[in-house]
Amino acid sequence: MIRFDRFTLSNGLRVLVHEDASTPMAVVNVLYDVGARDEEPTHTGFAHLFEHLMFGGSVNIPVYDDPMQRAGGENNAYTTNDLTNYYCQLPADNLETALWLESDRMLSLAFSEKSLDVQRKVVCEEFKEHYINKPYGDVWKLLRDLAYREHPYRWMTIGRELSHIEKATLPDVRHFFGKHYNPVNAILVVAGNVRTEAVRGHVEKWFGDIPPGARYLRDLPSEPEQREARRLEVGAKVPLDAFYRTWHMSGRLDVRYHAADLVTDMLGGSGSSRLYQSLVKEKKLFSSIDCYHFGSLDPGLVAIEGKLVKGVAMDTAEAAVEEELEKLRRSPVPVKELQKVKNKTESLMAFEDMSVMSRASSIAFYELLGDAGMMNGELSRYQAVTVDQVLEECRTLFRDENSCTLVYRSEG
């Protein structure tokens, strides 16, 4: 059970405090309700580029990192398709330094041309390092494009192409800041060796006078139901043939979500999972195979990806994957197997909760979902999933017309 206190400033900033006297550290986590899904199709990659610019100096503080490091702190941030999260950890005595830094960049950035120029290059190198200069690096660019026709999940967080990042301008940056980086669109979590009442005073001081900004009203096109199977075959200079198939799943708040999450754990992710045992160990068709999903807030994707053993025909591999899915569609999974993936979820949560940083980001995430208190009921929502619900979910998910397939062939 993770306890927290919650209050809202007059400018609309939601603040949650999680006290833990067992650590000498404090964590400050600021979540902004903006991700790659909120970008224009012609300006993809912008939310992530913007995250880099948040370290390029704010209106009253020339460099973010220096005071943070001088206070003994470490910080970082990440952008997903759904949200942008900034977090730092430092000795609890220096909590105010973090609040000072975070509040100043929520107030306003320095908007420096130099910072924009450098970070455009840095992000382009990040793009190259992870998505261009790696074998199979463009897989998710292709798959997102195949699976989504309308919803902005059709591009990756890093962006659709390098040119979108290269042509970002300072006016774009100012506009994006004004639209999304406001108290009403943010959630602040303070955790660790802190006291709620003291935090309240500090937060009022540093964040209280920031203008609230306008609430961003998200109005994204929803993805129309897919009605026939989609398929794309590509060839590239990779050493092994690879198989990818996705299926549309529910959004994060849907009642179906937990069953789908457990299904992916039965199929992949461990040495006793179905796909690994059957297709890697017994049939020896794949040298690696996995099943996962992204935990997206809007309706997401379940994916299976595998590399074929050399000499195995794609048809054979594909049919073998379908055979495993057919078993799941045909009859209920053994109770013991369902219990296994529930147990795994239980221990994963316990391990995650060991770190105060992880607890702070969970609190922010569930608050974004609607109520931080939901995190304490999460395990019981998994425990409540029945074998019948799993069967139902498999029948809903793993339909041919709901699938997108990418065949990635080796051209040497």
Partner 1 sequence: MSFRSIAPPIKDPVDLHLELRPCHRFTLDNGVDVYAIDAGAEEVLQVEVVYRAGNAYEGSNGIAPAVNFLLKNGTPSRNAFEINEHFDYHGAYLNRNCHSESADVVLHCLTKHLPDLLPVMCDLLTEADFPAQELDIYRQNMKQRLDVNLRKCDFVANRLIDEYLWGFEHPYGRYSTYESYDALDRSALLDFYGRHYARGHATLFVAGLLPNDIEAQLNRHFGALPLNRDPLPAPTHPAVRAAERRHRVDNQPDGVQGAIRLARPFPNRHHPDHPGAMVLNALFGGFFGSRLMENIREDKGYTYGIYSYLQNQVAESAWMVSTEAGRDVCEAAITEVYHEMRRLREEEIPDEELQMVRNYLMGTLLGDLDGPFQIIGRWKNLVINGLDEAFFRRTVDTIRNIPGAELNALAARYLREEDFYELVVV
Among 40, 41, 134, 198, indicate the residue that binds partner 1 (CB under 8 A): 134
Q: Is 77 among the residues that bind partner 1 (CB under 8 A)?
A: no
In 216-369, which residue ranges form alpha helices assigned H by DSSP?
A: 257-267, 274-275, 314-330, 335-352, 356-369
Nearer CB in complex with partner 1: 118/170: 118
In angstroms, the CA 138 to CA 45 distance is 15
Using the rule CB under 8 A, give the single segment among 93-101, 142-150, 180-188, 244-252 that binds partner 1: 93-101
Name every residue whose Cβ is closer than 8 Å to that of residue 317 and which is 6 or more positions away in sequence: 243, 279, 285, 286, 306, 308
Helices (H) and strands (E) in the chain, counts: 15, 11
Q: Is 346 among the residues that bind partner 1 (CB under 8 A)?
A: yes
Helix (H, G, I), strand (E, B) or coil at 143: helix
CB of 392 to partner 1, least distance (A): 24
- The residue behind tokens 């994060």 is 252
Among 339, 376, 383, 386, indicate the residue that binds partner 1 (CB under 8 A): 339
CB of 399 to partner 1, least distance (A): 28
In angstroms, the CA 191 to CA 197 distance is 13
Among 8, 222, 343, 376, indicate the residue that binds partner 1 (CB under 8 A): 343
Name every residue whose Cβ is closer than 8 Å to that of residue 379 and which is 6 or more positions away in sequence: 345, 346, 349
In angstroms, the CA 313 to CA 361 distance is 44
Contact between 206 and 188 (Cβ < 8 Å): no
Nearer CB in complex with partner 1: 121/195: 121
Using the rule CB under 8 A, give the single segment among 119-127, 143-151, 254-262, 399-407 that binds partner 1: 119-127
Token pair of 32, please? 């902004």
Contact between 324 and 245 (Cβ < 8 Å): no
Q: Is 113 among the residues that bind partner 1 (CB under 8 A)?
A: no
Query: Within a 13 Å sphere around the CA of 386, how many CA atoms are in the beta-carbon half?
Result: 3
162 C-beta neighbours (distance < 10 Å), count = 17
Among 8, 41, 93, 214, indicate the residue that binds partner 1 (CB under 8 A): 93
Nearer CB in complex with partner 1: 54/297: 54
Q: Is 40 among the residues that bind partner 1 (CB under 8 A)?
A: no
Using the rule CB under 8 A, give the single segment among 77-85, 103-111, 324-332, 392-400 that binds partner 1: 103-111
Q: Is 340 among the residues that bind partner 1 (CB under 8 A)?
A: yes
Site string for partner 1, 256-275 (x = CB under 8 A): --------------xxxx--
Nearer CB in complex with partner 1: 227/237: 237
- The residue behind tokens 């303070």 is 190
Q: Is 1 among the residues that bind partner 1 (CB under 8 A)?
A: no
In 236-306, which residue ranges form alpha helices assigned H by DSSP?
A: 257-267, 274-275
168 C-beta neighbours (distance < 10 Å), count = 21
CB of 117 to partner 1, least distance (A): 7
In angstroms, the CA 398 to CA 276 distance is 18
Among 17, 107, 173, 279, indicate the residue that binds partner 1 (CB under 8 A): 107
Site for partner 1 in 149-208 (CB under 8 A): none
Contact between 14 and 186 (Cβ < 8 Å): yes
Site for partner 1 in 216-245 (CB under 8 A): 237-240
Among 3, 70, 175, 395, indicate the residue that binds partner 1 (CB under 8 A): 70
Nearer CB in complex with partner 1: 192/213: 192
Among 29, 79, 81, 119, indicate the residue that binds partner 1 (CB under 8 A): 119
Q: Is 2 among the residues that bind partner 1 (CB under 8 A)?
A: no
Nearer CB in complex with partner 1: 93/161: 93
In 14-60, which residue ranges form alpha helices assigned H by DSSP?
A: 46-53
Q: Is 69 among the residues that bind partner 1 (CB under 8 A)?
A: yes
